[in-house]
Structure 1
Amino acid sequence: MIGATGRALLALLCAALVTLVAACSNSPVTRPDPQPPAPPPVAKATEVVVGVDDLGAGFNPHLIADRSPVTTALSTLVLPSVFRPDADGNLQLDRTIATSAEVVSTAPFTVTYELNVQASWASNSPIAAEDFVYLWQQMRSQPGTIDSEGYRHVTDVRSRAGGKAVDVVFDEAYPQWQHLFSGLLPAQILKDAPGSWTGALQGGLPTSGGPFRVVTVDRARGEVILARNDLYWATPATLDQIVLRRLGPQTLAEGLRVGDVDVALPTATPQLTQALAALAPSLHLQAAPQPTVTDLALRSDFGPLADVRVRHAVGALLDREKLRAAVAPDALAADAFGLAPSQPGYASTAPAAAPARPDPVAAAQLLVEAGYTRQGNGAWTLGGSPLRLVIAAGAERPADVEVAKAVAAQLQAAGIATQVVAPPAADLFTQRTVAATPPPTTAPPATSATPTTAAAPVTSGGPATTTTTPTTTPPPSASASASPAPSSAVRADLIVEPRAVGGPLGPQLASDYGCPDPTPALPDPPALPSGFCSAALQPVLESLASAATPNADQLATVERVLWAQLPVLPLFQPVSQLMSTGPGNTATGFGPGPLATGPLTGAQRWNAPVS
């Protein structure tokens, strides 16, 4: 039994508990801190992956050495041009660059360009008159350029309106002026850059004046990444980025099958056809001739080939159809010096006999007339010394190297000793003497495994040692010093070279085969890679270059004289095999595009494929 005192204590305790419970019920309930909200998912960059054969030697669209589908694509999407071809190939003023361009005087012939005041490089400098001056000066003075004839007729480039108006003065009427000043380059960056014209663009394009910019060139991985240029003043690109990825036939086929590659533009080869056989029904396939003809230049300014009879003997010994079948069987056979086989109006201008087709008997007769003697073992000699020819192709141009090897094999079988060399392409088309670097039997690795960003001029791009490469995968681009150290320097007798096609025919012929006279402004104009110069042909070439419409008789004369002189031997026009997956085709409308600008024309309007 609880006594009075116990009951009192119990009551007191109960009261305390009631008070405590009441106090607790009036206090906020303490809970653990809630988890911070999850960040919104990061949107995956919208992109299109484009399969390519190779990245090429460099990215200057005005250099023979850098001629490639990748360089054409970058020029089309990154560099500004005053005029661009429409879907039918007709030039149209690009008003994002120039609001007007017109002939304002005929004495002297003067063209005025009013530039878009908003047009600027991604480096924040305006696209202005100094960019016109830089391109003009380089095109008329540097060797190894493409379509330089029109720039040789420019006598002055004047700046007005703070550089946003440009007056270009010519030495005579030049009807093809609209084809000039495409692929403008950033003068403020390049004019003082080491290597400038030939070297500064080997690792990328340092800035952009178009809807995309080059952000990464990774030769180790074989990738060029283009990102949307957020500083572009006109309609922005739809995609965040375009990835150009170097892939061999088998890897490309697998990438298309699993959706890692959306579209591709490799050069057509039997290996590619075989690799794609199982995928063919599900792919959209199109043939797209490239704006290039592969030629074999015969150096006519020195050595054995300075004798036209020896040039013709070499031409008569070579079986061009077998060369094409061995290296590019899907290419188009070329039998003219001007138009390419895919161009409207093309027709063979080759003579009925050699060098249009091989003729060993005629070749032997020509060599005997030139003083050579055939020994009992079949070797041709002159004064006891063997007839020996050096055949060169750019180290970074694997298809050209294969052509050089095939040419060497045919000449050796005919009793002519040969040496095949593969110097850097930039040296081959600009220098008279090149390193006697043997062609790689294995592929050189890239400059480094670290991606090269293109935010500033890239002057490294240097070479490396060679490593084994599968025959199905084109080797990455090599740079000048990458090949094994040569034992000596040589002068090439035959050069495998790409010839640009697709521009106006008269200026193209004058650029490819002309030899301009020295002037006070240019006392030492650059020579052609072939060394060819015909004083008799030069007036005809100049007349064609300045004509609004080429004269048919003059064109026929040029073709006839070139077959007679044989400064180069046309071989073939490479063909790209365009392919796209179903989603890739729907999103991009991938197609050949105009010949001069290629399949990536209009890629700023592409959408990302939806699986």
Structure 2
Amino acid sequence: MRSVVFLTAGLLAVTTLSGCGSGEPVSEPLAGPDIAPATRDRIEDGGTLRWAVDSVPQTLNTFQSDADATTARIAQASLPVMFRLDTRGRPQRAAEFLASAEVVRTEPKQVVVYKLHRAAVWSDGRAIDAADFAVQWHALSGRNSAFWTAHNAGYDRIEKVRRGKGDREVEVTFARRYADWRSLFSPLYPKDVMGTAAAFNEGARNALKVTAGPFTVTSVDRGRGNVTLERNKRWWGDPAKLERIELRAVPREKRTAELVAGRLDIAEVDAGQAGRIASAAPGPQGRPAPGGGRAAPLMGPGAARAAAPPLLAGASGAGSADAAAATLSWAALHGSDRRAAEAERAALRKRAEAERRFTAEQKGLSGFEVRKSLEPAYTQLALNGAEGPLADERVRRAVARALDREELAKAVLGPLGLPTDPVGSHVALAGQPHYADGSAALGGHDAGKALALLHEAGWKQGGPLKTPAAGAAGADARRKSATSPSPSAPSAPSSAPASAAVSASPSPSSSAAEEDGDATYVVGQDDKPPARDAGEQRGGGVPGAYAPRGTAAPAGAEAAQLAKDGRPLTLRFVLPSGQGSESLRTVGERIQRMLRRVGIRTEISRVPDDGYFDDHIANGQYDLALYSWPVSAYPATDARPIFAKPVPAADGSLVVEQNYTRVGTDEVDQLFERAVTELDEEEGHELMRRADERIWTAAGSVPLYQRPQLVAVRRTVANAGAFGFRTPLYEDMGFLAK
């Protein structure tokens, strides 16, 4: 569940990154948690926190393939964890469950001893003990296929689990060394859930009868879209401040209305919704006035036109336009044309209703604020290296070097007031111990170097073209399928990384368009790129329009289309078409323009969100795509399947695991394997940094920016919001005392 793909794309202390490719780790995250922290004595006892989620989960067992982000949230609030993540994404011992945990031997085999908190009990009163650890290991070891597990990483390296010197001590012996041992047994399920295949497969799908956290799960109502968590009376740690947490499934586009109606206290929102909430904040509102000071408060739609006509002498600019509109409205109402007057009255009634709704929304949203951070996830450009032009590493490297990653990061994060540093690693983010900017292994933005790589690969400017078939080389439908797990996308962006399911057909509303000389292909079901005249296809243009030889091209000018063996260099760029994916489409269009500057044309295919991953990314039906990966504290385990070299299956297909770019090398695989067995943490970090440099060199994916995290929270709610790397502490959440 730590590897979840996000589809979509919060103000805090900012630390400057080291220079690009410096190899020096960054000491702090770019943005920390924004949760309105408050000490427990300032929070009232009781209350219900109503929290929007994307869906009611199909299972409460996080180790099953259809578990989602809400499954993980429920587990965090109600089940034991051995280690939590701090604000830098580092694992820290959970003192409520563990008195200690350490490696006590490495030879001849690695042995870890867990000493459990003496008061730790399940909600039925039974002590948490070695039996729970042993049963979970058996279920997740991969040795019994009757258990329908989504993954067994780490558990497959354990040789035995047994009781230690006392009832509260657990001894785990590994058959093979495992550096990420802290990732195991989090969450820990009771032996009743893990004891048999039937219990594992079905017992925790609809209910968790026994828990051990600050909250218990009291109901799962898929019909009403609710999950209810209530305070655990047997919890031995700091008692939960809240009496109840209600997780409510609310579609993202309906969350603003639910906030206004007072039916939610906390909800993740997109940038547009965040702007509406910010505009409703108490205090002076509106744009800066032209002559200094502030303009009048925002009055909502049509406010200017409904005003009485002002004197227009000397009016200019926007004020003149508003005044003119108001004058025309007044003239229509008081003129002799009855039809015009009635039409204007109807328009005024419509505007008045819009104003009423706007005012009501502003009033309803004024009790909320947007808490902002950066998610522990990054958005990347994926390059499918299975076949076509991108099977050539030189072409992939050229695409990567044509990108101005700083510009893309600023386009997404700058308007939100968040740090805009591009991501420099595939396996970690700024602030994490594994992080170092490895992008210098590939090289920075350089259109000239990109063109040189393309020429080296045989793609020439102005080369002869055969009569192009619709879609060109990069847009040919791929027929090779891959054996791989289907990614899930929580929200989102993931919605992730971190939402795959049904239809694959492109959006019928898409169309081909060309504006201002910069062709932007948007391909729908039957669209073809706009035809070009023969002179342009030969690399020429209008006769007599050439500049003298040696004239420098203007900055940002397009390069002539590249061709090879009579075929143009055209790549199919697949993007989601859903309402929450606007930022991805904006980034996609910017990337399209950047690639045109080096002679690469792209056809953008907008496809429904619900089929984006299953039908396009997982099946390899794309050349370029944008999606996000989370990062974890355990990259040797969790990032390995994302970058593992695909291997042929018996039926001739490729087993790609989660490597949807189909780009991998033996060297990267070997570095991951060495890192996962390296018990010296610094050496393990170094191995991960070396692996990341090799991944940059292969250019199967290009990290762009860390995903924004925007959460609307009622102003009276403390210790909740945008958590960044940090694991939430549910027992500390609550409403500020009056």
Fold match (TM-score > 0.5): yes
| Within-5 A mapping of 1:190-229 | 190=194, 192=196, 196=200, 207-219=210-222, 221-229=224-232
Equivalent of 2:631 in 501, 504, 507: 501
Following superposition, the deviation at residue 385 of structure 1 comes to 9.7
Whether 1:399 aligns to 2:496 is: no
Per-residue CA shift, 1:264-315, capped at 9, x if unaligned?
Answer: 4x15423432354213655444312222234455566789866545655775
Identity %: 23
Q: Does 1:559 find its partner at 2:692?
A: yes
Mapping of 1:368-379 within 5 angstroms? 376-377=467-468
Q: Distance in 2 between matches of 1:367 and 1:205?
A: 57
- Which residue number in structure 1 is paired with residue 476 of structure 2? 386
Indicate if the aligned counterparts of 2:398 and 2:451 stay in contact, CA closer than 8 A.
Answer: no
Q: Superposed, which structure 2 residues align to 1:136-535 within 5 Å?
A: 136=137, 141=142, 150-151=154-155, 153-159=157-163, 164-171=168-175, 174=178, 176-190=180-194, 192=196, 196=200, 207-219=210-222, 221-247=224-250, 252-253=255-256, 255-256=258-259, 259-264=262-267, 266-279=268-281, 283-295=368-380, 308=393, 312=397, 333-341=422-430, 343=432, 346=435, 348-351=437-440, 376-377=467-468, 386=476, 388=478, 394=488, 399=493, 415-417=570-572, 491-493=619-621, 498-504=628-634, 506-510=636-640, 512-514=642-644, 527-530=657-660, 533-535=664-666
Q: CA deviation at 1:243?
A: 1.6
Counterpart in 1 of 2:733?
606
- Tell me the amino acid that sits aligned with residue 212 of structure 1: F
Matched with 2:669 is 538
CA 1:56 to 1:385, structure 2 compared with 1: closer, same or farther past 3 Å? same
TM-score, normalised via structure 1 length:
0.62
Identify unmatched segments of 5+ residues in structure 2.
1-44, 284-365, 501-505, 512-519, 524-528, 530-568, 581-607, 648-654
Unaligned runs of 5+ in 1: 1-43, 422-438, 443-473, 518-524
Q: What RMSD in Å do the two structures reach over aligned CA positions?
A: 5.5
**What residue number does 1:570 align with?**
703
> Residues 94 and 536 of structure 1: is their aligned pair in 2 closer, same or farther, counting only changes over 3 Å?
closer
CA 1:225/1:366 → structure 2, altered by over 3 Å: closer, same or farther? farther
Is the partner of 1:189 in helix, strand or coil? helix
Alpha-carbon distance in 1 for matches of 2:275, 2:704 = 22
Give the conservation status (yes or no) of the 8 Å contact 2:642–2:657.
no
* Cα 1:596–1:506 shift into 2, 3 Å: farther
Q: Which residue of 2 aligns with 1:24?
A: none
**Match of residue 17 from structure 1:** none
Query: Aligned residue pairs: how many?
Result: 495
Determine the C-alpha separation between the residues in 1 that align with 2:194 and 2:698.
39
- Cα shift readout 1:421-469 (whole Å, capped 9, x = no counterpart): 9xxxxxxxxxxxxxxxxx9899xxxxxxxxxxxxxxxxxxxxxxxxxxx
Which entry has the higher C-alpha Rg, 1 or 2? 1
| CA–CA distance in structure 1, aligned partners of residues 110 and 432 of structure 2 | 30
Does structure 1 conserve the Cα–Cα contact (< 8 Å) formed by 2:220 and 2:227? yes
The answer for the alignment partner of 1:41 in structure 2 is none
Mapped contact 1:253–1:276 kept (Cα < 8 A): no
- Shift in CA distance, 305/166, structure 1 to aligned 2, threshold 3 Å: farther
Partners of 1:250 and 1:272 within 8 A in 2: no
Answer yes or no: is the 8 Å Cα contact 1:249–1:272 preserved in 2: no
The CA deviation at 1:212 is 0.9
What amino acid is the match of 2:730? A
Tell me if structure 1 keeps the 8 A contact 2:215–2:229. Answer: yes
Q: Is the contact between residue 540 and residue 554 of structure 1 (CA under 8 Å) also seen in structure 2?
A: yes
1:317 & 1:366 partners in 2: Cα distance? 15
CA drift of 1:394 comes to 4.4
Q: What is the CA-CA distance between 1:210 and the residue it aligns to?
A: 0.9
1:329-373 deviation line (CA, Å, top 9, x unaligned)? 758643421222465785543359789688985786587579x99
* CA distance in structure 2 between the aligned counterparts of 1:604 and 1:116, rounded to whole angstroms: 18
**Contact persistence 1:53–1:267 (CA under 8 A):** no
Q: Is the 8 A contact 1:130 1:163 kept in 2?
A: no
Identify if the C-alpha distance between structure 1 residues 592 and 192 changes in structure 2 by more than 3 Å, giving closer, same or farther: same
CA contact (8 A) 2:374 2:708 kept: yes
Q: 1:154-178, CA deviations, whole angstroms, 9 ceiling, x for partnerless residues?
A: 3332345797532111346655533
| Residue aligned with 2:682, SS | coil
Task: Look up the equivalent residue of 2:690 and give its one-letter code.
Answer: T
Gap change, CA 1:268 and 1:417, over 3 Å in 2: closer
Q: Which residue identity is paired with 1:491?
A: N
C-alpha distance in structure 2 between counterparts of 1:243 and 1:310, whole Å:
50
Q: CA 1:542–1:606 in 2, change beyond 3 Å: closer, same or farther?
A: same
Q: CA deviation at 1:503?
A: 0.6
Say if 2:190 is the partner of 1:101: no
Q: 1:71 to 1:233 in 2, by over 3 A?
A: same
1:34-53 paired onto structure 2 within 5 Å? 46-52=47-53
**Structure 1 residues 126 and 168 mapped into 2: Cα distance closer, same or farther (>3 Å)?**
same
Deviation at 1:487, TM superposition (A): 11
Aligned counterparts of 2:233 and 2:578: Cα–Cα separation in 1: 41
Cα distance, 1:562 vs. partner?
0.3
Do the aligned partners of residues 111 and 249 (structure 1) sit closer, same or farther apart at CA in structure 2, a change above 3 Å counting?
Answer: closer
Shift of 1:602: 2.2
Distance verdict in 2 for CA 1:150–1:310, change over 3 Å: farther
